[in-house]
Structure 1
Amino acid sequence: MKDLRAVFFDFDGTLVDSERFYFEAWKPILKQHFAVDLDFETWIQYFAGHTLARNILTMKELWGVDVKEEFMWKSTRENYANQDMLTIPLMPHARELIDFLMERDIQMGLVTSNFRPTVERMLEHYGLLQHFSWFVTREDVVNPKPNPTCYQKALLLSGFDTSEVVAVEDTATGSRAAYDAGLTCIAVTKQKAERDRLDFVDHLLFDLKEVNDLLR
């Protein structure tokens, strides 16, 4: 992609292998308080890539669970803290891709539904924080993904045109936000439930090595 000036990355499930971490935090809460036996496939199909508020609505739709956001916020944060988020690994080939983009002087931004303190802490832990020029996090938008506002805001911060930027995502939720903002969207996932929903993206790949090869 000869005109490429920047790459906007999603965070969870795209740069860091965090979906099983979140699943393991949610599973005992649903089992103990609501008698719901959550499995990983259901997590990926209905919960991955969504905000807490959206996931609470999904719980009601799937299982008739009616719970306040405050309770789930407190319960999930306690479990996240007990598990230690700094144990979450980078996705395979993430560091190599970032190194390649740096070598080519292609700038990087992060567009995520996660919160900025969490993202900054984890990127600092990986030694990658300084490589990202722009951040759009959950605090920065009223309407999160799949609303395109987050990517529109990232474009304004970067000063680049949509033709000069690609987005890398792992879910249909995030990919829809990027696509509707007018960006070339690369979706990277091995999960069949997600791949079945990603027929609208420009490129559907299996891992970040394939992204590296595509951008060369």
Structure 2
Amino acid sequence: MIKTVIFDMDGVIVDTEPVHKYAYYEHFKQLGIDVPDEMYSTFTGNSTKNVYQKLRDTFGIDTETNDLIRVKRNLFNDAFDTKEDLYLLPGVESLIKDLYANGMQLILASSAANVTIDRVFTRFNLHQYFTHILSGEDFAQSKPNPAIFIKAWELSGDDKSECVVIEDSTNGIKAAKEAGLFCIGYDSVNSKSQELGEADVIVADFAELDYQKIRTIRNTLE
């Protein structure tokens, strides 16, 4: 039986991707670099640190990674604070509350920076539902490296067979599977460029999930 659900944030709980994309491309203009869409799509599920390390290597940027992150983060924060049409993804709040009310442990394992996670969780009053919050900036490597999900599993106190991950990105699903965890792929309108085939189950609507379904989701496939 599943006892812990490990959530990704961007693309699963809230779609901040348009805000991130705006901030990145504003910064790319400042840096004078041309990042094609194909390259940008590979950034999904990566930490900001790893994105800028890749950009420095690709474009020969001399600026230190932390300084690049600071500029992009300021651009993101300015846009985030003025963007009124930022909502939780359809159905996810009801799912979180249903799982929490039934005693399921919830853990966040997001590639987003701590400050971004805190902004989202504060704006939507989500801290109360999660026992642990993990940010990709606290790990040396981003998804698809499994480190963040291994740590989430360790913090859960449960067996791997009692944990499930909800992810929407290729890198996130690869990381969950590499960590040896059951993974639900969320096929949202925002993840069409992502390959979800490695997920154990794929859903297109959170209405397909509730406490009872997640609790026994592994059993339905055995």
Mapped partners of 2:56, 2:66: distance in 1? 15
Check conservation: 2:14, 2:88, Cα contact below 8 A.
yes
Check conservation: 1:107, 1:132, Cα contact below 8 A.
yes
Go from structure 1 to structure 2 and tell me whether the alpha carbon gap of 1:141 and 1:123 turns closer, same or farther (over 3 Å shift). same
Deviations 1:98-146 (A, max 9, x none): 1110232111001112233432332122111111011222354333321
Mapped partners of 1:205, 1:184: distance in 2? 14
Mapped partners of 1:14, 1:94: distance in 2? 8
Check conservation: 1:31, 1:37, Cα contact below 8 A.
no
Residue 149 (str. 1) matches residue 147 (str. 2): yes
Residue 46 (str. 1) matches residue 45 (str. 2): no
Deviations 1:34-78 (A, max 9, x none): 252765x764x22222122332355468xx522232342122122
Go from structure 1 to structure 2 and tell me whether the alpha carbon gap of 1:37 and 1:156 turns closer, same or farther (over 3 Å shift). closer
Provide the residue aligned with 1:10 in structure 2: 8
Percent identity over the alignment is: 29
Deviations 1:178-213 (A, max 9, x none): 11111110111333320xx22111012223223448
Mapped partners of 1:111, 1:172: distance in 2? 15
1:13 positional shift: 1.5
Go from structure 1 to structure 2 and tell me whether the alpha carbon gap of 1:35 and 1:150 turns closer, same or farther (over 3 Å shift). closer
Mapped partners of 1:212, 1:12: distance in 2? 20
Go from structure 1 to structure 2 and tell me whether the alpha carbon gap of 1:8 and 1:77 turns closer, same or farther (over 3 Å shift). same
* Bigger proportion of residues as helix: 1
* SS of structure 1 residue aligned to 2:118: helix
Question: Aligned pairs, how many?
Answer: 208
Go from structure 1 to structure 2 and tell me whether the alpha carbon gap of 1:32 and 1:136 turns closer, same or farther (over 3 Å shift). closer
1:177 positional shift: 1.2
Kindly report the root-mean-square deviation, in angstroms, between the aligned alpha carbons of the 2 structures.
2.4
Mapped partners of 1:136, 1:181: distance in 2? 15
Map 1:31-70 onto structure 2 (within 5 A): 31-36=29-34, 43=40, 45-59=41-55, 64-67=58-61, 68=63, 69-70=65-66
Residue 80 (str. 1) matches residue 76 (str. 2): yes
Mapped partners of 1:49, 1:86: distance in 2? 24
Gaps of 5+ in 1: none
Check conservation: 1:148, 1:181, Cα contact below 8 A.
yes
AA in 1 matched with 2:59: V
| TM-score, length of structure 1 as denominator length | 0.84
Provide the residue aligned with 1:215 in structure 2: 214
| TM-score, length of structure 2 as denominator length | 0.82
| Bigger Cα displacement from structure 2, 6-15 vs 117-126 | 117-126
Provide the residue aligned with 2:177 in structure 1: 179
Gaps of 5+ in 2: 216-222
Check conservation: 2:187, 2:196, Cα contact below 8 A.
no
Mapped partners of 1:20, 1:6: distance in 2? 29
Mapped partners of 2:186, 2:102: distance in 1? 21
AA in 2 matched with 1:65: F
Mapped partners of 1:14, 1:52: distance in 2? 18
